[in-house]
Structure 1
Amino acid sequence: MTFVVTEACIRCKYTDCVDVCPTDAFREGPNFLVIEPDDCIDCAVCVPECPVNAIYADEDVPKDQLDFIPLNEELAKDWKTISRKIAALPDADEWAKVEQKREQLQR
């Protein structure tokens, strides 16, 4: 099992989760975070830290978000590790209320 970042993170990129990760499993893209499955130790400490509830155990990812499992793995290969909290995107609070935002993902 590993944890997965889903659609709710897009255009928000709150990094509270990054600060608590003991293995630096998070990777940072332009407007989204992902988890490197090989680095994730399934500790779940990141889950309650996410203010938009974007992180799930892979077995608990909602059906309409299952495509984020391979997406996390794919993007984690190219994106750089993030290990410290940074400021959320400037309009994160507004985007946190938006549900359908896959087309906003920047690779």
Structure 2
Amino acid sequence: MTYVVTDACIRCKYMDCVEVCPVDCFYEGENMLVINPSECIDCGVCEPECPAEAIFPDTENGLEKWLELNRTYSEQWPNITQKGDVPDDADSFKGVEGKEAEFSPEPGTGS
């Protein structure tokens, strides 16, 4: 099992999860984070830290496409090990439904 970042993270990217991850398995895109499912140790400490409620265990129904997106982009984006600057407009996107169309495949800066 692993944890998965979903579209609730898109344009929020709070990064509180990065601070608590004991294995540094988060990767940064331009407007969201993903988890490398091969590196995640299923500890679950990231899930309650996410203000956008964007992280779920992969055992929940309907997360297959997000698991694949996490797998794909964790291989392309830079690793992030420290919380960076939160987007200025993050709070205005928190809780917005259907942000999948806002997804950017571009990498973030990593840290």
Report 1:14-33 matches (<5 A): 14-33=14-33
Name the amino acid aligned to 1:85.
K
Q: Secondary structure at the match of 2:48?
A: helix
Match of 2:35 in 1: 35
CA shift, 1:26, in A, is: 0.1
Structure 1 length normalisation: TM-score?
Answer: 0.94
Moved over 4 A (4+): none
Name the amino acid aligned to 1:46.
C
Name the amino acid aligned to 1:2.
T
Match of 1:7 in 2: 7
Q: Secondary structure at the match of 1:67?
A: helix
Q: Secondary structure at the match of 2:52?
A: coil
Name the amino acid aligned to 2:92.
E
Match of 1:73 in 2: 71
Aligned partners of 2:6, 2:43: CA distance in 1, in Å?
A: 18
Match of 1:52 in 2: 52
CA shift, 1:52, in A, is: 1.1
CA shift, 1:89, in A, is: 1.0
**Structure 1 residue ranges without an equivalent (≥5):** none
Structure 2 length normalisation: TM-score?
Answer: 0.91
Name the amino acid aligned to 2:20.
V
**Structure 2 residue ranges without an equivalent (≥5):** 106-111
Q: Secondary structure at the match of 1:74?
A: helix
Question: Identity, % of aligned pairs?
Answer: 49
